Amino acid sequence: MDIYRVKPGTQVDLSQYPPDDKSLFAVSKSEGKKATKKLNRHLEALQELMYAEDKHKMLIVLQATDTGGKDGTIRHVFDGVNPQGVKVASFKAPTPEELAHDYLWRIHKHTPGKGEIVIFNRSHYEDVLVVRVHNLVPPEVWGRRYAQINAFERMLAEEGTTILKFFLHISKDEQKERLQSRLDEPEKNWKFNVGDLKERALWDEYTRAYEAVLSETSTEWAPWYIIPANRKWYRNLVISNVLVKTLEGFDMHYPEPEENLDEVVIE
């Protein structure tokens, strides 16, 4: 998986990361889907073990442009996992109460506790993406947030949270096709927002903002992965592999049972 992991200190140029790449797994679409389902069953077992052991914490950050596939990733990669141990936090425009606090205030309370996996559907990175592209705060304000975010994530890591961050990388042409499908297919009309077209017009500005995020905030304790996401099945396969390999590395064990259970008789 290291070919998609951004090494700390790397200056990222997204034009060098093909969004339709599938070089890591030489399989067909149908084979890739089967492999993902198999990984999903393993992920279910590992997540159940993590919940039972009640020791580790995992934070997964998903970021992407509009139509990038955050919802689809959650739906397919985590299909069947125990909802007691997996939570999703979605971050939209901040409320007046949230704006009255520092920008990380609303984030911190959603971070995982022991035994939990928490998925951020968008995240604290909106405060160096949207606010930068739309000039919501001065450059000197969002410019210092990279270091603040790194320090925040380091604190979480030092307190026992494993952090994985995935940028779902799609092309502008792929986004056009996905937006068009939302118009053409009646069951997808509800997903279409005219405002998405205004954001699409800022594609180049968002690209530069994402390149800065990936360059400035991929660290040893909270790495970014640039996931080729034009092919949804390949995106799911890559992310599933990263998650399973990471969870396997925890070397987890079920808690020891109470003593003398063999003498218990249930009448």
- Distance of alpha carbon 224 from alpha carbon 213, whole angstroms: 9
* 241-247 average pLDDT score: 97
pLDDT for 70-104, tens place per residue? 999 999 999 988 888 999 999 988 999 999 999 99
* 29-43 average pLDDT score: 95
Going by their DSSP bridges, the two strands 57-64 and 224-228 should be labelled as unpaired
Question: In the CATH scheme, what is the code of domain 2-250?
Answer: 3.40.50.300
Quote the pLDDT of residue 179: 95
For 94-130, the DSSP string reads PPHHHHTS-TTHHHHTTS--TT-EEEEES-GGGGGTH
Quote the pLDDT of residue 160: 97
| Structure tokens belonging to residue 172 | 């502008």
Quote the pLDDT of residue 258: 76
Quote the pLDDT of residue 257: 79
Residue 44: Cβ-neighbour burial (10 angstroms; 0-12, 13-18, 19+): middle
Quote the pLDDT of residue 82: 85
pLDDT at position 267 over 80:
no
| Structure tokens belonging to residue 250 | 């925890």
Q: What Å distances lie between residue 18 and 92, 141, 244, 264, CA to CA?
A: 29, 32, 24, 60
Q: Which of 91, 11, 73, 7 is nearest to 36 (CA)?
A: 73
| 44/84: higher pLDDT | 44
3-class DSSP assignment, residue 92: coil
pLDDT band at 112 (very low <50, low <70, confident <90, very high): very high
| 84/126: higher pLDDT | 126
Residue 89: Cβ-neighbour burial (10 angstroms; 0-12, 13-18, 19+): middle
Average pLDDT of the chain is 95
CB 36 within 8 A of CB 25: no
| 153/187: higher pLDDT | 153
Quote the pLDDT of residue 167: 98
Q: What Å distances lie between residue 68 and 15, 106, 168, 171, 254, CA to CA?
A: 16, 24, 6, 9, 37
pLDDT at position 22 over 80:
yes
pLDDT at position 11 over 80:
yes
Query: What are the helix (H) ranges across the chain?
Result: 29-53, 70-77, 96-99, 105-108, 130-133, 139-143, 145-158, 172-184, 195-200, 203-217, 232-248
User: Backbone phi, then psi, for 155, in 5-degree steps?
Assistant: -60, -45
3-class DSSP assignment, residue 15: helix
pLDDT for 178-199, tens place per residue? 999 999 999 999 989 888 899 9
